[in-house]
Structure 1
Amino acid sequence: MATVQGSLLLVYALIAIIALVVLIARFKMNPFITLMMVSVALALAVGMPATSILKSFETGVGGTLGHIAIVVGLGTMLGKMMAESGGAERIARTLIDLFGPKNVHWAMMCIAFLVGLPVFFEVGFVLLIPIAFNVAQRTGTSMIRVGIPMVAGLSVVHGLIPPHPAALLAVTAYNADIGHTIFYALIVGIPTAAVAGPLFSKLIARFVVLDGFNPMAQQFIEQDAKRSHQELPGFGITLLTVLLPVLLMLVGSWADVIVPAKSSMNNALRLIGHPDMALLLAVLLSFYTFGKSRGFNREQILKFTNECLAPTASITLVVGAGAGFGRILIDSGASKAIVDVATGAHVPLLILAWLVAALIRVATGSATVAMATAAGIIAPIAAAAVGTAGGVRPELLVLATGAGSLILSHVNDGGFWLVKEYFGMTVPQTFKTWTVCETIISVTALVLTLGLSTVI
């Protein structure tokens, strides 16, 4: 814990965030180096013990990279195999034919909504990004028009809709009915995704124009000349391979329903349903469906899987450093100071749940942490309010908390850097697109939840 306390902690944290943005955007400093420098400087400024500063930063980096590095690595391999085989091209063509070239942004929102249900944001992102690159290239559409609806769909599902793990945490904390929560979440989530995705992307694409070479996009985009002599894989087998992780994760989450709990089969289903194992199995399947069956030999498959990892190195390091910065904010006490400010405010319960989650999200960078922590804080208050004028339905508290957990993604959020690096954007462009998109989701979902509370 730091020696500096109270509101001064918040001032130092704000200065650190501004410094990050200025150093990266204005002075073009390496994001990983900058995040590490500012994290150490902040820790020293607020009086954290010097011996614990780097340990705190490493804890944040390691905790995130333990998951992100595996997800990004395996997801990129799956995307590379899909690209080289023509699978991404097949899905892109099918979506374009189904929705029409002018409506592909709606297509990306819909598929993200479905894919995102059982998976964390990062997993859904790496599964869908090759398709987004190919749809953008084939239709001549800006990656902003295609990519923002995709991340909007994934983000809405992440924060609002069970059986997503983050939403399930709040369902449990508030003792909400999961069926009613899903129903209300769809009522709120679908229009929210539409506003923050296709509609917002159409507006912001006029002001944010991406230029320059994007190495991540390049390795996933098919060249027409390369495909002229090659038959594309079938849509069914391509979709099966891409969605296998989603299906396996659903099986894992339903293990207790399918077989007795704690049995050997239950443990096996949970193992294959873990995101890392599900992605590994999908990659192994892709070696056949996108590899051997498409005429590639082992040497070519090895070459694909090796060469696709190089561009991910900087992404994983930056995402990890963002988590390290977030850990410094937590260990310094800045996050607690933010929570204290929120809980001290006398506001209606739904707005309080949203506000607490929003402030924790800004402080920690994690939607899941914000949702779980805020639910733990608000649940006792909600229980005490049952039967009183201030009481509200627990299902709506889940939605309000989830909405708050998505607001204002910035430099301490791994998702911020994931979107920035894959889309090939600058920091200011990422604020204008991704950060605003997340904030639109948060505010729109809160407004719709408050509206829903007046009629149920």
Structure 2
Amino acid sequence: MTTTDLHGLLFPALTAADGATQSIPASRLIPAALLGIAVIVVLITRFKLHPFLGLTLGSLTVGAVAGVAMGDVVDSFTKGFGSTAAGVGTLIALGAMFGKLLADSGGADEIVDTLIGRSSERTLPWAMAAVGAIIGLPMFFEIGLVLLMPVIYLVARRAQVSVVRVGIPALAGLSAMHGLVPPHPGPLVAIDALKANLGLTLMFGVIVAIPTIAVSGPLFAKLAGRWVDVPPPAMFGTGDDDERGSRERRPSFGLTMFAVLTPVVLMMGKALADIFSSEGTALRSALDFIGTPVIALLIAVLVGMATLGRGAGMGMKEISTSLEGSLPPIAGIILIVAAGGGFKQTLVDTGIGELVADWVRSSGISVLLLAWVVAVLIRLATGSATVATVTASGILAPLATGLPAAQVSLLVLAIGAGSVFFSHVNDAGFWLVKEYFGLSVGQTFKSWSAMETLLSVTGLVVVLLLGLVV
């Protein structure tokens, strides 16, 4: 290492929000980053502060300890907050609208009933995994869990098996979609922070998700069902077929699947056009436009209004009410994600991210493995997959510079896999599963927490294997 290289490592250039360039020694940058993350973790876990406030105060802590002018820190944070809210926030809102319409129209019930009705006792766990994945594609984890619980109870009673035996595969499908596949908030933030190709990440995400769900869902459920043999709770009645509370009229299975897969097909079409079609052609231009995430999700909402809403016999007033009702519950999520973007920008502007990137490049450590480990540590500390993803993305963003597009997409997925590692008592999902399944804390660890850990590790292994061939 030359003297110039050593100077660059110890005194990385800081490009502040006002365009000024400063040199901050590593002896201040490293404690600044560690203290900023510690502040976020302590505020969220110990003082139960909302993650939006925790991320905001963590950003200010980073700048203050690093010795950056506080006005520049505020400018960096607001810049990152605004750009993330404008890009990712719009996608989250559109995704929530579509998910609410899918639930209110009975389309989600139609998917569940069709797949379960065509399954034998042997294929039932695989069908439940498919249901979880399909429902999880457009929906947030918590919404999908609440939606699926009645059918999990009913199927467990009909098959006379532990609720864990059929519930774990469905949860594996939900969780894998949440951590690995856009348009969920975590993957979208990582894609935005790392400047990854969305279509390519979506394609790789599906490739990673399939074996990951298979291992952590139906295969693991065989063991988990023996460890935790719990009958379904009776909170949804006595098991009558009408306990689903579904609408009298539903959109057909074909129409529902058409609506659900519309944004996926459009974004995949753009990714394929970028690879195989020449620039400037009419086809390339059209696919580039309709495959842009905002346009693809906007089209999906419009298609959903026509197919799901009208297919369920909903009038325009009822459809509008459903769409309006989707936005208040995700306001907090948008604020967390946007604040995560602000924290990321603060790390970038102080030069901390570049310092970490330089260290990793010289150490020979696998970038994908490092990304997973960073996300795992933040997940364990905060209990939030989204906070883990946005924080890890900010730290590792400089590593993506100069990497091939495929490797950047795999970096996103490595972070996503790490973000779902070992859900425990500081995770709201842990308590949701415990209460809905009627488990003890120990049983929840042996089933849900173990499944999340297996899902995370399997996802990492598949990502690393992909990294060898792309």
TM-score scaled by length of structure 1: 0.66
2:84 corresponds to 1:64: yes
Q: Contact (CA 8 Å) 2:106, 2:251: kept in 1 or not?
A: yes
In structure 2, the residue matched to 1:44 is 64
In structure 1, the residue matched to 2:238 is none
Q: CA deviation at 1:133?
A: 3.9
In structure 1, the residue matched to 2:296 is 278
In structure 2, the residue matched to 1:236 is 254
Which letter maps to 2:91?
V
Residue 148 (structure 2) aligned to one of 132, 135, 147: 135
Instruction: Map Cα deviations across residues 421-450 of structure 1 (whole Å, 9 max, x no partner).
Output: 899699xx9996898567524643367569
Residue 170 (structure 2) aligned to one of 123, 135, 146: 146
- Give the RMSD, CA atoms, in angstroms: 5.0
Instruction: Map Cα deviations across residues 9-56 of structure 1 (whole Å, 9 max, x no partner).
Output: 333323332332232223222222222122212221221221111111
Residue 390 (structure 2) aligned to one of 355, 365, 388: 365
In structure 1, the residue matched to 2:112 is 92
Q: Contact (CA 8 Å) 1:77, 1:305: kept in 2 or not?
A: yes
Q: CA deviation at 1:342?
A: 1.6
Q: Distance in 2 between matches of 1:315 and 1:170?
A: 21
In structure 1, the residue matched to 2:269 is 251
Q: Contact (CA 8 Å) 2:354, 2:399: kept in 1 or not?
A: no
Q: Contact (CA 8 Å) 2:63, 2:346: kept in 1 or not?
A: yes
Instruction: Map Cα deviations across residues 200-230 of structure 1 (whole Å, 9 max, x no partner).
Output: 78869x99xxxxxxxxxxxxxx9847437x0
| 3-state secondary structure, aligned to 2:83 | helix
Q: Distance in 2 between matches of 1:64 and 1:433?
A: 33
Q: Distance in 2 between matches of 1:330 and 1:420?
A: 30
Residue 295 (structure 1) aligned to one of 276, 299, 313: 313
| Mapping 1:178-193, distance limit 5 Å | 190-193=210-213
Residue 306 (structure 1) aligned to one of 324, 329, 347: 324
2:440 corresponds to 1:440: no
In structure 2, the residue matched to 1:409 is 419
Q: Contact (CA 8 Å) 1:91, 1:238: kept in 2 or not?
A: yes
Instruction: Map Cα deviations across residues 70-122 of structure 1 (whole Å, 9 max, x no partner).
Output: 22211122122221221011111223334568976644655787899xxxxxx
| 3-state secondary structure, aligned to 2:109 | helix
In structure 1, the residue matched to 2:349 is 331
Q: Distance in 2 between matches of 1:323 and 1:287?
A: 31
Q: CA deviation at 1:238?
A: 0.7
Q: Distance in 2 between matches of 1:435 and 1:250?
A: 28
Using a 3 Å threshold, how does the CA distance of structure 1 residues 53 and 198 change in structure 2: closer, same or farther?
A: farther
Which letter maps to 2:348?
I
Using a 3 Å threshold, how does the CA distance of structure 1 residues 225 and 170 change in structure 2: closer, same or farther?
A: closer
Which letter maps to 2:85?
L
Q: Contact (CA 8 Å) 2:39, 2:57: kept in 1 or not?
A: no
Which letter maps to 2:419?
S
| Mapping 1:314-353, distance limit 5 Å | 314-345=332-363, 347=364, 351-353=365-367
Percent of residue pairs bearing the same amino acid type: 28
Using a 3 Å threshold, how does the CA distance of structure 1 residues 261 and 48 change in structure 2: closer, same or farther?
A: same
Using a 3 Å threshold, how does the CA distance of structure 1 residues 225 and 105 change in structure 2: closer, same or farther?
A: closer
| 3-state secondary structure, aligned to 1:280 | helix
Using a 3 Å threshold, how does the CA distance of structure 1 residues 306 and 337 change in structure 2: closer, same or farther?
A: same
**For structure 1, which runs of at least 5 residues remain unmatched after alignment?**
117-123, 159-163, 173-177, 208-221, 380-393, 411-418
Using a 3 Å threshold, how does the CA distance of structure 1 residues 194 and 5 change in structure 2: closer, same or farther?
A: farther
Quick check: 66-75 or 93-102, which moved more? 93-102
Quick check: 138-147 or 231-240, which moved more? 138-147
Instruction: Map Cα deviations across residues 231-254 of structure 1 (whole Å, 9 max, x no partner).
Output: 332111111111111122223333
Which letter maps to 2:150?
Q
In structure 2, the residue matched to 1:354 is 368
TM-score scaled by length of structure 2: 0.64
Residue 23 (structure 1) aligned to one of 19, 43, 64: 43
**For structure 2, which runs of at least 5 residues remain unmatched after alignment?**
1-13, 15-21, 154-162, 183-187, 229-240, 379-387, 421-426, 435-443
In structure 1, the residue matched to 2:441 is none
Number of residue-to-residue matches in the alignment: 388
Q: Distance in 1 between matches of 2:66 and 2:174?
A: 39
